[in-house]
Amino acid sequence: MQGVPERFVARCELGGEEIDTRVEGVHQWMSGWVKQRDAGGGHGISCAVRENRWACSYHVDRAARGLTGQGRMF
């Protein structure tokens, strides 16, 4: 990406294109915990354990809506 310092360039994990990680709306992968519920299911709790994995807003939004045709999001 021309004009973007190399440390801010990453590949979108869902779409494959290069993205600027400084842009508002870009998503970074983060770990967390899930509290199991007696009635089934779970409650997600995000933890600030970030990894150097990035995806653009467009592809994350499509994956969250189930529009990517893939079996799992990440």
CB 27 within 8 A of CB 51: no
pTM over the 0.85 mark: no
Q: Residue 59 has what pLDDT?
A: 95
Backbone angles phi, psi at 29, to 5 degrees: -65, 140
At 72 the pLDDT is 55
For the stretch 13-62, pLDDT in tens is: 999 999 999 999 999 998 888 899 888 888 888 888 889 999 999 999 99
For the chain, the structural domain boundaries read: 6-64
